Amino acid sequence: MVVVKVGGSAGIDYDAVCADVAALWKEGRRLIVVHGGSGETNRVAEALGHPPRFVTSPSGYTSRFTDRQTLEIFEMVYCGKMNKGIVERLQRHGVNAVGLSGLDGRIFEGRHKDSVRAVENGKVKVLRGDHTGTVERVNTGLIELLLSGGYLPVLTPPGASYEGVAINVDGDRAAAALAAALGADALLLLSNVPGLLRDFPDERSLIREIPANEVEAYLDFAQDRMKKKVLGAAEAVAGGVRRVIFGDARAGAPVSAALAGAGTVVS
Ligand code: ADP
């Protein structure tokens, strides 16, 4: 089993990713796709007059402040345009894909965090009304049901809180929780960079290998959103996933290339 997380930043070639996923699926590989949608969500939020707000925690993690209106815009883009766009591409390639959010069937479940600590102008503030959370449980039964019926699951945030409220969960960490829960052989975190760069944005500084027991030490190289990917990788390997690969989704056959070891391999 391979979990393929494809990001939502500018430059990602979804046609290339879907063609590659479809080819591997037809060869008999068991695959699950998890995707993001942050770039498009930012554009739609601006257009709807509710621009995105990003907050940085005291420990340096950046996240989207998700008030109710933001959550609704987030759902339109992630569960609507992005999810159906990927499902449609896979269907065109003859793969019977099913697109679901983590809220559907409680695929991604976790605790709702209503408030977030954010550093603004050098001061730590507590912001309330946030709809975020971290995936703590995965409904593997529903995923297995789809796979055993021959359907390829295409999953996206949000997840469900224990009270049944939609929560914005990080896609990389959700994919890591899914890969661990399913005992996947590999988790691919595909984005618009060649992998983890020692000296971002210099692409020649690609880190090729990270020993599984040293992942957290590499958090220092990652800035802003890349930190969540490194954290997700650490969680996945701690959860028993043998290989996590940070790969490039901008062209070529991104899934096959990552499986063949292109990018940053954590093992
Ligand atoms: P996605 O939405 O595709 O999952 P993100 O935009 O959340 O991906 O994270 C990838 C981004 O992280 C890159 O586009 C890059 O701007 C940034 N980044 C920060 N530090 C690094 C690093 N050391 N190596 C690679 N990318 C980095």
What is the spatial distance between Cα 17 and Cα 93, in angstroms, rounded to a whole number? 12
The pLDDT of residue 196 is: 98
157 within 8 A of 171, measured Cβ to Cβ: yes
The pLDDT of residue 248 is: 98
Q: Is the CB of 191 under 6 A from ligand 1?
A: yes
160-168: average pLDDT: 98
Q: Domain locations in the chain?
A: 2-266
Q: Is the CB of 223 under 6 A from ligand 1?
A: yes
Beta carbons within 10 angstroms of residue 48's beta carbon: 13
Q: What percent of the chain has pLDDT over 90?
A: 97
Q: How far is the CA of 44 from the centre of ligand 1 (A)?
A: 21
Q: Flag whether 168 is marked binding.
A: yes
Q: Is the CB of 218 under 6 A from ligand 1?
A: no
What is the spatial distance between Cα 105 and Cα 62, in angstroms, rounded to a whole number? 28
Phi, psi of 160 (to 5 degrees): -115, 135
Q: Flag whether 242 is marked binding.
A: no
Q: Is the CB of 108 under 6 A from ligand 1?
A: no
Reported as a single tens digit per residue, the pLDDT across 169-223 is 999 999 999 999 999 999 999 999 999 999 999 999 999 999 999 999 999 999 8
Query: Would the ipTM clear 0.85, i.e. be above it?
Result: yes
The pLDDT of residue 224 is: 82
Q: How far is the CA of 193 from the centre of ligand 1 (A)?
A: 7
The pLDDT of residue 76 is: 98
Q: What is the mean pLDDT of the chain?
A: 97
Residue 60 has pLDDT above 90, yes or no: no
Residue identifier of the C-alpha nearest atom 17 of ligand 1: 226
Fold of 2-266: Carbamate kinase (3.40.1160)
Strand partners, 106: none
Q: Is the CB of 189 under 6 A from ligand 1?
A: no
Q: Is the CB of 115 under 6 A from ligand 1?
A: no
The pLDDT of residue 20 is: 98
Q: How far is the CA of 162 from the centre of ligand 1 (A)?
A: 30
